[in-house]
Amino acid sequence: MSNSVYGIPVNTITGQKTDLSHYAGKVLLVVNTASKCGLTPQYEGLEKLYQQKKQQGFEILGFPANNFNGQEPGSDDEISSFCSLNYDVSFPLFSKISVS
């Protein structure tokens, strides 16, 4: 187990293994996401916030999860496409996780 968030191993939405070390020194907003949730339209606000603040060292990290009433049933490819096509998401998305 890592001593900080930066050492936690994760996979990008495209399946590349990484950790969060390259976000060290930045302000992070780590968000659990789902594409079939009543809060899904918040992607739009998150993207707007990201565009306004990313040059100031602010990062939004999106982690899809299907743990809450099956509201994220898609594959990583489907999630990535959905976010791109519907909300033009450019902040980093990561592979689906389990939050249980």
Q: Active site residue: 5, 37, 49, 65, which one? A: 37
Kindly list the distances between the CA atom of residue 76 and the CA atoms of 44, 52, 80, 94, in Å, as whole numbers in the listed order: 19, 26, 6, 8
The C-alpha atoms of residue 33 and residue 54 are separated, in whole angstroms, by 19
Query: With contact defined as beta carbons under 8 Å apart, do 95 and 15 qualify?
Result: yes
Kindly list the distances between the CA atom of residue 96 and the CA atoms of 22, 53, 64, in Å, as whole numbers in the listed order: 20, 25, 5
Active site residue 83: no
Query: With contact defined as beta carbons under 8 Å apart, do 18 and 10 qualify?
Result: yes
Q: Catalytic residues, which ones?
A: 37
